[in-house]
Amino acid sequence: MKSVIGIFCVTAFIFSTSVSYGQSKKDYAGRIDSLIQSPASPRPFNGVVLITQNGKTKYSKAYGFQDSRTKIPLKMDDQFEIMSNTKQITSVLVLKQFEKGKVDLQAPIKKYLPSLTQPWADSVTVHQLLNHTHGIVDVEKPLVFKPGTEFKYGNLSNILLGKIIEKTSGKSYIQSATDLFKELHLKNTFCYSKDNRRNLVSGHMNKNNNFTPVENSFINDENMPADGVITTADDMAVWNSLLHKGKILSAKSYKLMTTSSVLSQHDVFGKEKSGYGYNIRIVKYNDIPYLGHTGLGDGFASMNVYVPGSDISIIIMENQMSEDSHLYYYQEAVIRDIVMESSLIKRK
């Protein structure tokens, strides 16, 4: 999957240039509009795009529908499943316990999860769960590599982190997350519940540009720490601002989270390996550093990018997931590139 995404990201970049109709790189809004509205795109965009700088909105538009059956138009305050972008929130909750002295990041996870029976529970650390260097593929099976020697991304690490949060906080993961959202005044952010969807839009599978609603979410209490948070574009931008300006974590914790501790490759973020911290990627675009992650599943796709040197958030959330893996983050990657090339970016 990763190799073909890279090919389409390059193709998408060329496509975005061709549809700019002579627009300069400074006209990021016009270029984004052209990209999304072009009939030449291999798939339609169905979601919201929010770009903020210094807390001010620079671009904010919703395209498409909430549900393919009703065709009710999307609004900017609609709520989306952010899937793996949830993992960043889980990292913060772990680091909150670290700040309270309840979690030792270098301690073996057996200390917090004594029910684990595999021998590796005495060697895998919390730190290795946070940066996906643990080597666990199944709690009943041996490791696939020595902890700390390789990177292998997956949901299991965050499922275990969720259990550590519960053990050390004395609260359910959902309650810990809910308390954090309340503390940060993120009123439109919550953990998924099939009984309380609030303004959550319907996810869709896109096959040959035919949309099929996803009737049953795979999110449950078990995988909630990996995939289960629902939010709006505005709340995600507020989260970025609070997190990256020192309003949520201590300076020490934030540095641990956003410092590369392993290298990994993801074609949306480049063909070469780049840094990975605690459920967040540390990347450069033409020597401009930025932080980011993606989320995919349940008929949703999302990208969250923050550019520290320019205080820019790029939030893109769709309620569709292409069945063609080539097109998972087609417009997302190009929009990111358009903004990174624009006059919004501060250059030395």
* Cα separations in angstroms, 142 against 110, 121, 122, 186: 15, 10, 13, 40
133-148 pLDDT tens trace = 999 999 999 999 999 9
Q: Tokens representing 85?
A: 């972008």
Pick the more confident residue, 4 or 212. 212
Q: What's residue 23's pLDDT?
A: 58
- Residue 24 binned pLDDT confidence (cut-offs 50, 70, 90): low
Q: What is the C-alpha to C-alpha distance for residues 306 and 314, in angstroms, rounded to an integer? A: 6
Rg of the chain in Å (alpha carbons): 20
State pTM to two decimals.
0.93
Q: Output DSSP code: residue 42.
A: S
Maximum CA extent, the chain? 62
164-197 pLDDT tens trace = 999 999 999 999 999 999 999 999 999 999 998 8
Mean pLDDT of 229-258: 98
Burial class (CB in 10 A: 0-12, 13-18, 19+), 175: middle
Q: What is the C-alpha to C-alpha distance for residues 163 and 165, in angstroms, rounded to an integer? A: 5
Q: What's residue 196's pLDDT?
A: 87
pLDDT higher than 80, residue 291: yes
Question: Nearest-5° angle of CA 341, CA 342, CA 343?
Answer: 130
Mean of all residue pLDDT scores within the chain: 93
pLDDT higher than 70, residue 71: yes
Q: What is the C-alpha to C-alpha distance for residues 236 and 242, in angstroms, rounded to an integer? A: 10
- Residue 348 binned pLDDT confidence (cut-offs 50, 70, 90): confident
Number of Cβ within 10 Å of residue 9's Cβ equals 22
- Residue 70 binned pLDDT confidence (cut-offs 50, 70, 90): very high
116-126 pLDDT tens trace = 999 999 999 99
Q: Tokens representing 220?
A: 């449950």
Taken in order of first residue, the domains within the chain and their CATH numbers are 2-84+188-220+230-340 (3.40.710.10)
pLDDT higher than 90, residue 305: yes
* Terminal Cα-to-Cα distance of the chain (whole angstroms): 36
pLDDT higher than 50, residue 327: yes
Q: What's residue 17's pLDDT?
A: 44
HSE of 247 in the Cβ direction (CA atoms, 13 Å)? Answer: 13
Q: Tokens representing 89?
A: 């929130």
Q: What is the C-alpha to C-alpha distance for residues 284 and 188, in angstroms, rounded to an integer? A: 31
pLDDT higher than 50, residue 6: no
